[in-house]
Structures are given as structure tokens and as C-alpha cells.
Structure 1
Amino acid sequence: MRIISSDEIEACLEDRPVLETLRRAFRSNTVTPLIPDLAIDRLDQHSGHLSFQPAWTDFAAQGDVSRGYIGCSLALDLPEQNGLSSGLYILFSGSGGQPIALIDGVRLNAWRTAGVHALAAAYLSREDTSRLLVIGDDPRLPRLLSAYAAVRNFTSILLAGVSKETQKRISNQPAMAGVHIGVTNEIHAAQEGADMICVAGPEYDTQTHHSLTYLDPPAGCHIDVLDTTALLPSELLEEARLFSSDLSNPPRSELEWAADLKELAQGNKAGRRYYGQRTLFIPGPGTGLADYALAAHIFLRS
């Protein structure tokens, strides 16, 4: 069994191949059972949870077991980790059943998250999208913005509430060459000129999740929600066309969803219907399909 480190993952992955791998995954018949998270009771309000995201080739539909994989991501989330869960991905041979790879789950998570959100942006943002506003801080932002740049030609990126460390890492991304990157505190005014808005998380100097009551994107804007705990205005959720990654397990069951990435990738549902429509993407909790596809991609290329 090969152990694939975070450095090896970085060395073998590029944004565009990752996006196409994920696109093919959402078009496939990969089996992705839903396994509830397991609560871990610990003293002094230090409880956490352990999550499993299994997936495997649809061997029955394929008609043989000579090719394909069986895999599962394991993620541990404890309060001491400050929102950054640790994890591993184990990949088995579909024919022999032996474990063939153990992959760093944290770096896999970063690439998978970026790829899924960028794939959604490819379907839902306008093709002439060039101005991006990022609200809030998240350590995955440099990887996410690099993936965005693989699907849209950004000329300007404004960062609001992003730490200086994250700002520096964003600026150092090769995909940001030629892109004007600025910082603003005037979020309300900045959103008026945005073609796309990324709700990334709370501002770096706050300890609580933010309520975006002021969020009122212009017509035609695509809103990509990285921080699923952010409180979005009810008017926006009612007016925008809503999308998720997998509606078999939606992030919020009370909302009216238009389609998920499976339906978009397979051509069964439409994304943006007209130029001035506001679209909004919130990922679902299930990541088994994307993790599986990316783990196999890494195994074959590392």
C-alpha cells in the first residue's frame, strides 16, 4: 500500500484536470451510501464527531470487477481543531480488495472543496464574469481562487475580512498573475460591482459566524457559499436560483432547490436561465463522490 503525502498530492494535481475528473464523477453511476456522523462524547464540552464518506464503482452496472475501486474518507472533527478537521482517505482495489493507497485527507479536502465550488461556478456564473468579491477568511481560499481562475477570467478580486497571511498566499498563486487583488472594508459598496461573490467565512478577527443581512448582490451575480454556517438574507434565498452538490442530502431541506451538480453535469437540469438571474450555490454535506474520484485521480498520477 502506498502512503501519499500532502506534498505528493500538490505535485500531481492541476486545476483543470481536477475539474474534469469531478465533472466525469458527477456524470457517473458511482455508489455513494450515506453514513451518519458518529458523535464522540468527551468531557468539558469537548465533544466531536467522526465522519465516514464511502464510495465505490458500480460493479453491478459495469458487469465485472476487473477494474474500479472502493474507497472511504475518514474525518475527525474536535473543538481543539478550530474548524480544521483532520482526515485520511483509504483506497482499495475493486478487483482484489487489498488496500492500495492511504492519502492525506486534509490536502485532499482542500482540492476537492476548491474543485466542487469551481465546477459549480463554471455552470452557474456568467461567462463574462471578471470581478470577484471574497467575504471572510478561510485557509482554503488560495486553492479555491486558483480553481475559480481555471473557469473564469478574473481581472479584479476584492478581499474583505481576509487575514494578511491568507492575502499573501492568494497573491502567490500562479493563477493570480495579472489579476488586480485589492482589500476593502466597504463590503456593501463592493458587492454592487461584483460579478461573483464568495462567502468564505467570518472575518479573521472575529470568533463568531457572521450574519450577512447586508448582502444584496446585483442582478446576474453568482454567490458561492463556502461557509455553510453563514446566515444569508431570507430575501436572497427566496429570489435567487439555488443549487447544491447533491440533493439526495441537501444542506437545508426547507429551501426550494433548482438542481444539483449531478443534474447539471448530466444535462438533466438547466443552470442559469438568463443573464440577469442571481444564482447561489451551497454545498451539501455529502462529499463521498468527489473524494472518491479525486483519490483515484491522485493514485493514478502520484
Structure 2
Amino acid sequence: MRIISSDEIDACLEDRDVLETLRRAYRSNTVAPTCPDYDITRLKGLSGNLAVQPAWTDFSAQNDVERGYVGCSLALDLPENGGVSSNLYILFSGTGAQPIALIDGMRLGTWRMAGTHALAMSYLAREDTSRLLVIGNNPRLPRVLAAYATARNLTSVLFAGTSKEVRKKAAAQPALSNVHLGETTEIHAAQEGADMICIAGPDINTGTFHALTYLDPAAGCHVDILDTTASLSSELLEDVRLFTSDLSDPPRAELEWAADLSELARGNKAGRRYYGQRTLFYPSKRTGLTDFTLAAHIFLRT
């Protein structure tokens, strides 16, 4: 069994290839059942969480068991770790059932997250999208922004409440070398000129999402939610066309979802219907399909 490190993952992947690999995943017949998360009782009334997300090649559909894989993502969150999860991905041969790879799940998850949001952007953001407003902080932002740049021709990125370290790492991304990167504290004014808004996480200065109460994107704007703990106004959610990554387990069942990425990738549902429509992508927590596909992709290239 091969152990594939974060450095090996970075060395074998590039953003455009990841985006197209995930597009093929959403068009495939890969089996990715929804499994419950498991609570782990700790001390002092606290609890942890173990998330198990399996997936495998549809051997019956391909009428062949001589090729394909079975895989599973294991994510462990314990309260003592301050909200930082541990994540591993194990990949088995679909032929002989032997384990063939143990993959750094944290780095796999960063690339998968970036590719998934860029894929959604390719269907939902206007073709002429060039100005991006990023609200809040997220350590995965540099990778996500590089992926965005493969889906649309970005010319400027404005950061609001993003850490200096994250902004510095973003500036070092080759895909953003010709993109103007700036800062703003005037979120309400900045959103008027944004073609797309990324809700990355809490403001690095305040630790809150307070500005989102007044979020009112311009006509035609696409809103991409990286941090699903963000509190969005009911007025915004009622006015935009809503999309998610997996409707088999939607992030908020009470909302009216237009489509998920499988329906968009297969052409069964439309994304943006007209130029001035506001769209919003809110990812599902279930990532079994995309983790599996990207893990197999990595295994074949390392």
C-alpha cells in the first residue's frame, strides 16, 4: 500500500485538470451512498464526530470487476482539537480488495473543495465575470482563488476581513499573477461592483459574519459560500436561484433548490437562466463522490 503525502498530491495536480475530473465525476455512475455521522462522547458533556463517506465504481453498470476502486473518507473531529479535523482517505482495489493507497485527506479535501466551487462557478457565474469580492478569512482561500481563475478570467480580487498571511499566499499563486489584489473595509460599496462574491469565513478582525446581514449583491452576481456556518438573510435566499453540490443530502432541506452539480453536469437542469439573475452556491457536506474520484485520480498519477 502506498502512502501519498500532501506534497505528492500538490505535485501531481493542477486546477484545470481537477475541475474537469470533478465534472466527469458528476456525470458518472459512481456509487456514493449517504451514511450517518457518528457522535463520540467525550468528557464534561462534550462530544466528537466521526464522518464516514464511502464510494465505489459501479461494477454492475460497467459489467466488469477487473477495473475500478472502492474508497472511503474518514474525518474525525474532537472538541479538544479546537475544531481542527483529522482526515484520511483509504483506497482499495476493486478487483482484489487489497488496500492500495492511504492519502492525506486534509490536502485532498483542499483540492476537492477548490475544484468543486470552481466547477459550480463555471455553470453559475456570468461568462464576463472578472471582479471578485472575498468576505472573511479561510486558510484554503489561495487554492480556491487559483481554481476560480481557471473557470473565469478574473482581473481583480478585493479582500474584506482576510488575514495578511492568506492574502500573501494568494498573491504567490501563479494563476493570480495578472490579477489585481486589493483590500477594502467598505463591503457594502464593494459589493455593488462585484460580479461574484465569495463568503470565505468569519472576519479575521471580529470573528463574526456581521456584514452578511446587509448582503445585497448586484443584479447578475454569483455568490459562492465556502463557510456553510455563515448566516444569510432570508431575503437573499428567497431572491437568488439556489444550487448545491448534492441534493441527496441538501445542506438546508427547507430551501427551494434549483439543481445540484450532477444535474448541471449532465445537462438535466439549467444553471444561470438570464444575465441579470443572482445565483448562489451552497455546498452539501457529503463529498463521497468527489473525494473518491479525486483519490483515484491522484493514485494513478503518483
State the TM-score, normalizing by the size of structure 2.
Answer: 0.98
Pair 1:153–1:45, CA change in 2 (3 A):
farther
Output the CA distance in 1 between the equivalents of 2:239 and 2:120. Answer: 19
Are 1:55 and 1:292, in contact at CA under 8 Å, matched by a contact in 2? Answer: yes
Gaps of 5+ in 2: none
Output the CA distance in 2 between the equivalents of 1:118 and 1:109. Answer: 14
Output the CA distance in 1 between the equivalents of 2:159 and 2:31. Answer: 39
Output the CA distance in 2 between the equivalents of 1:45 and 1:184. Answer: 42
Pair 1:82–1:129, CA change in 2 (3 A):
farther
Q: In the TM superposition, what whole-angstrom CA distance separates every residue of 1:241-285 from its partner, at most 9, and x where no partner exists? A: 000000010000000000000000000000000000000000001
Q: Which residue of 2 aligns with 1:131?
A: 131
Q: Which residue of 1 aligns with 2:217?
A: 217
Q: What is the Cα deviation at residue 210 of structure 1? A: 4.4
Q: What is the Cα deviation at residue 208 of structure 1? A: 4.5
CA RMSD of aligned residues (A): 1.0
Are 1:157 and 1:182, in contact at CA under 8 Å, matched by a contact in 2? Answer: yes
Are 1:210 and 1:230, in contact at CA under 8 Å, matched by a contact in 2? Answer: no
State the TM-score, normalizing by the size of structure 1.
Answer: 0.98
Q: What is the Cα deviation at residue 233 of structure 1? A: 1.2
Q: In the TM superposition, what whole-angstrom CA distance separates every residue of 1:183-217 from its partner, at most 9, and x where no partner exists? A: 11100100000000000110113344546111000
Q: What is the Cα deviation at residue 43 of structure 1? A: 1.0
Q: Which residue of 1 aligns with 2:298?
A: 298
Residue 263 of structure 2 is aligned to residue 263 of structure 1:
yes
Q: What is the Cα deviation at residue 79 of structure 1? A: 2.8
Q: Which residue of 2 aligns with 1:102?
A: 102
Q: What is the Cα deviation at residue 61 of structure 1? A: 0.9
Question: Partner letter of residue 194 of structure 1?
Answer: A
Pair 1:41–1:250, CA change in 2 (3 A):
same
Q: Which residue of 1 aligns with 2:89?
A: 89
Q: Which residue of 2 aligns with 1:59?
A: 59
Q: Which residue of 2 aligns with 1:47?
A: 47
Q: State the identity as a percent.
A: 73
Are 2:187 and 2:211, in contact at CA under 8 Å, matched by a contact in 1? Answer: no
Output the CA distance in 2 between the equivalents of 1:123 and 1:131. Answer: 17
Pairs within 5 Å for 1:1-302:
1-208=1-208, 210=210, 212-302=212-302
Q: In the TM superposition, what whole-angstrom CA distance separates every residue of 1:48-91 from its partner, at most 9, and x where no partner exists? A: 10101100001111112011000000001123434331100000
User: Which secondary structure does the structure 1 equivalent of 2:212 belong to?
Assistant: coil
Gaps of 5+ in 1: none
